[in-house]
Amino acid sequence: MPGWVEVMIRSIVLFVLIFLVAKMWVRKPVGEWSAFEGMLSIAAGGAAGVSAVYLAIPPAFPVFALLIWGFLPLALANLALRSETFRYWYEGKPVAVIQDGKILEDHMKKSHLSSDQLLRKLREKQAFQVADVEFALLEPNGEVNVLLKKEQQPLTPKTAQLDVPSLKEPETIVQDGEIKDEALARRGYSREWLQTEVEKLGITIENIFLAQVDELGELQVDLFDDKLQSPQPIEKPLFLSAVKKCQADLEGYALATDDQQAKAMYNKSAKDLEKVLNALCPILSQT
């Protein structure tokens, strides 16, 4: 057999074998690999590459080697699931580097983490001042997770004591220019509804690369032609504007009338409408 044919066959076989082994035990992005997993992958790839071109090595040897390099991590991972002690030894244990707002220098030295590295990792978490951090944890993969101090945490509907309805994920109803009938049906819509909504935006379905509909029935589209500006839905802003106008009209009626009973009625209605606006704004202001 010509040498180049054997190299091609070996390369294809080893490529498929590495792919199958990786599918068995690699379940996370490369950035989340441990140092051991990274070195293991490099070693397995290097062994496969050398075996593919060094024809003096019997073909069965690299296959056996890759199977061992593939199944050993799988066995270790299963053992780590069963034993917390082994898991901490094999995968590592999170280390606190900031606690109660104070940097733990001893923990940083043991983890070989410099102050420059700590500051960079904090900036990645949008924490530009150490004084803003209450607690920081160095994970086994090298990532630092941060808990900001209470006064530095972003405002949320919960902290503002606002009732916000739960949201469902948007449905992709047009993808790569093709209509997804199942997604339309899950939201209770039809192709006729889609055609009507698209016509409101002044485009055609053939122009749409991707379209999604949210739980409120609002359609967001991206067009094939990037030079064209995607039309924005106006139903929510129009409705919000109409409600605000009604509230303003009620307040105006209350000021214009001399009838105390009517004035009280208009003022009460305006306040009731204001409550409705406060409940609707978080929904209708979303884009």
**pLDDT on residue 278:** 76
3-state secondary structure of 203: coil
Statement: residue 274 has pLDDT above 70: yes
Q: What share of the chain is helix, strand, coil (3-state, %, to 5)?
A: 55, 15, 30
Q: Which two tokens stand for residue 210?
A: 């991707």
Q: What is the pLDDT of residue 196?
A: 87
pLDDT at residue 96, as a whole number: 93
Residues 247 and 227 in one domain: no
| 74-128 tens-digit pLDDT | 787 788 778 878 877 877 788 999 998 899 999 999 888 898 999 999 999 988 8
Query: Per mean pLDDT, which range of 5-14, 111-120, 272-281 is the poorest?
Result: 272-281
Residue 148 inside a domain? The answer is yes
Residue 284 is classified by DSSP as H
Q: Is residue 205 part of a domain?
A: yes
**Residues 203-225: pLDDT tens digits?**
888 888 888 888 777 788 888 77
As a residue count, the chain comes to 287
Is the distance from CB of 32 to CB of 41 less than 8 angstroms? no
Burial of residue 77, with CB atoms counted within 10 A of its CB: 0-12 exposed, 13-18 middle, 19 or more buried: middle
What gap in Å lies between CA 88 and CA 35, rounded to an integer? 14
CA neighbours closer than 13 Å in the CB half-sphere of residue 214 = 13
Whether residue 163 lies inside any domain: the answer is: no
SS3 category, 104? coil
Mean pLDDT within 174-202:
87
Q: Are residues 83 and 9 in the same domain?
A: yes
pLDDT at position 134: 92
On whether residue 157 sits in a domain, the answer given is no
Measure the CA–CA gap between 180 and 173, rounded to whole angstroms.
5
The rounded mean pLDDT for the chain is: 80
Predicted local distance difference test score (pLDDT) of residue 287: 46
Tell me whether residue 159 is in a domain.
no
Average pLDDT over residues 269-278: 81
The pLDDT value recorded for residue 82 is: 85
Residue 262 has pLDDT above 90, yes or no: no
Q: Is 40 helix (H, G, I), strand (E, B) or coil?
A: helix
Compute the distance between CA of residue 68 and CA of residue 63 in angstroms, rounded to an integer.
9
231, pLDDT greater than 60: no
* 30 and 82 assigned to the same domain: yes
Both 85 and 101 in a single domain? no
pLDDT of residue 218: 79
**pTM of the predicted model, to two decimals?**
0.51
Query: Which residues, other chains included, contact 146 with Cβ-Cβ below 8 Å and sequence gap of 6+?
Result: 98, 122, 125, 127, 133, 135, 136
Residue 31 is predicted with a pLDDT of 60
Query: How much of the chain exceeds pLDDT 70, in percent?
Result: 83
> Residue 27 corresponds to which tokens in the numbers above?
């379940």
164 in a structural domain:
no
How many C-beta neighbours within 10 Å does residue 47 have? Answer: 18
Q: Indicate if the pLDDT at residue 230 is higher than 60.
A: no
Average of per-residue pLDDT across 31-46: 71
Range of the domain at 118: 95-152
More confident residue, 110 or 14: 110
Measured between alpha carbons, how far is residue 21 from residues 14, 55, 113, 178 in Å?
10, 23, 33, 35
Given 70, 89, 108, the domain boundary residue is 89
Residues 240 and 275 in one domain: yes
| Region 30-53 average pLDDT | 73
**Number of domains comprising the chain:** 4
Q: Are residues 146 and 190 in the same domain?
A: no
Same-domain pairing of 7 and 80: yes
Q: In this structure, what CATH number is given to the domain that contains residue 108?
A: 3.30.240.20
Of 87-101, 173-187, 231-245, 257-271, which gets the smallest average pLDDT?
Answer: 231-245
Q: Are residues 193 and 257 in the same domain?
A: no
Count of other CB atoms within 10 angstroms of residue 143: 14
pLDDT at residue 136 greater than cutoff 90: yes
